[in-house]
Amino acid sequence: MAINGVAVGITVTGAVFLYSGLTNKSVLSVIQNVITGKTPETAKASAEATTDTAEASAAPLTSTSGTTSADFASTTYTGASGTLSSAQVGALWEQYGGNPAKTTYAQGVVNAESGGNPLATSSNPDGGTNVGLYQLDTRGVGSGYSVAQLQNPATNTQITIMATKNGTDWAEWADPFVDQHGTGGNI
């Protein structure tokens, strides 16, 4: 009897949501712990012992091509004030598994949100801080991550790819670009 991949995926997704709800942790922080290989016990111990400085140097996320988020942390960005160009944003989107058909849309969101500045921050009406290229809210899509982690372009992009369902659902973003083009990632 063959294993149904869709059924396994649905089961795993359900388990992540169930665990997230039972432990009162964000789904993204649970996924982050799974990606970094932390068990619930090591995640708890790590969270208790970690400061924002230590979080910034946490194990980097790795793309399918083997490039890590640390590789982008040390990159010199071209453009005014250390900003990423639209081409760099697109390359980062695709390198970390973003749907190539949604690259232009992702570039538009970054342009509207941060102008390509990976260090950009702004206040969010919910009391959180919007951080980085895609302006991830520390009390929303970016919860569970430090400001320093969200300022890493690779990490910010990877979280955005997951949160937007690979560029198909931008409902969490409220900016003129999304307002003009809709939340489905189509232009």
pLDDT for the residue 10 = 75
Question: Residue 145: CB partners within 8 Å, gap ≥ 6?
Answer: 28, 32, 55, 136, 138, 155, 159
Confidence (pLDDT) at 138: 96
CATH number at residue 95: 1.10.530.10
> Whole-model pTM?
0.61
The pLDDT tens digits of the residues spanning 163-172 come to 999 999 999 9
- In this structure, the answer to whether residues 64 and 39 fall within a common structural domain is no
12 and 78 within one domain:
no
Q: How far apart are CA 112 and CA 80, in angstroms?
A: 16
Domain count, the chain: 2
Residues of the chain with pLDDT under 50: 45-80
Instruction: Report which of 32, 9, 156, 7 is spatially closest to residue 96, judged by C-alpha positions.
Output: 156
Rounded distance, CA 23 to CA 164, Å? Answer: 24
Q: What is the pLDDT of residue 61?
A: 46
113-139 pLDDT, tens digit each: 999 999 999 999 999 999 999 999 999
Is residue 54 situated within a structural domain?
no
Give the range of the structural domain holding residue 154, as residue numbers without chain letter.
59-181
SS3 annotation, the chain:
CCCCHHHHHHHHHHHHHHHHHHHCCCHHHHHHHHHCCCCHHHHHHHHHHCCHHHHHCCCCCECCCCCEHHHHHCCCCCCHHHCCCHHHHHHHHHHCCCCHHHHHHHHHHHHHHCCCCCCCEEECCCCCEEECCCCEECCCCCCCCCHHHHCCHHHHHHHHHHHCCCCCCCCCCCCHHHHHHCCCCCC
Residue-level pLDDT at 157: 97
**Whether residue 81 is found in the same domain as residue 173:** yes
44 domain-assigned: yes
Q: Which residues touch 9 (CB under 8 Å, ≥6 apart)?
A: none
